[in-house]
Amino acid sequence: MAMTVKGIAESINIMGTRSGSAMKERIQGPIQEMAKEETAAGGSYLDLNIGPARKDGTELMPWVVQTVEETVDTPLCLDTTNTDAMIAGFQAVKNKEAAIMNSISAQPERMEALIPVAAEAKCNVIALLWGPDGMPRDSNERAAMAVDLMMAMNDAGIPNEKILFDPIGTPMTLGADQIASGLEFMMMLADIAPGAGSTVGLSNVSNGVAEHLRKYLDRTYLIMLMKYGLSTAIVNSYDKDLMAICKGESQDLVDLVHGMMDGDMPDPATLEGAALQHYKTFRCLSGQAIFSESWLDL
């Protein structure tokens, strides 16, 4: 059985070139085109990211929701740090139970504002392991935050089956230790929160790396997380090779990386093409090789 991951397509974003200006100027066309493209590429959900949207978030989020829902039936993932905009957006969503709230972090003010809204909407919720002091230091801090979030959500009537835990993908440029901690947490998740799902913002791992190299980190990191049952991922649906991994069409590469995670390191002289790229990238992500922007050439 090939492993699959449901992709949450990330490109309808206030920071994007096509979608950003369309959002700011309230032009539906480009956003609707992207919604169709991301759906055709295999996106299981469409992430609608309006950022902090301090000025007009409560008006912008419902507008983006309606714009996309006029065009496609793909479930939505509403993404904003503005709690009022999130609430306004969910009031506009037609199919609330299929939608995702991105996200509720382990910060008291965010939990208090949004958990009741998610419970009422019966939507899926991304539980972001980001606390009052920011980034968790290791897998144990992630586990403690996950328990706090799970208990608060369960108390409000949100079952584990509706929760997607995000261990936080950290930039490779900060080193491999945090990446290892996120993977350790993923190994623990089934015991901490039986029935819960998981997700990750994949492109965080390649943040700060030259554009043409980012895709290799994203793809290999996705495969590493899949070993521990990753159920969804926030992805660039325009990366065909990445989407092929999500759809279970690159089992040879998945087997290669999972074998290396189990200590079965191949002779790189026997590898070529994508297999060699994944081998070299895995060695960086797992801390076996020093990371530099020339890792694929070494």
pLDDT at position 76, please? 99
Contact between residue 60 and residue 23 where contact means Cβ atoms under 8 Å apart: yes
SS3 call for 7: strand
pLDDT at position 1, please? 79
pLDDT at position 2, please? 87
Residues of the chain with confidence (pLDDT) below 50: none
User: What domains can be seen in the chain, in order of their start residue?
Assistant: 6-249 (3.20.20.20)
Nearest to 79 by CA among 47, 111, 109: 47
Summarize pLDDT for 18-32 with one digit per residue, the tens.
999 999 999 999 999
pLDDT at position 227, please? 98
Cβ neighbors of 271 (< 8 A, separation 6 or more) are: 279
pLDDT at position 186, please? 98
What is the pLDDT of the chain when averaged over all its residues? 97
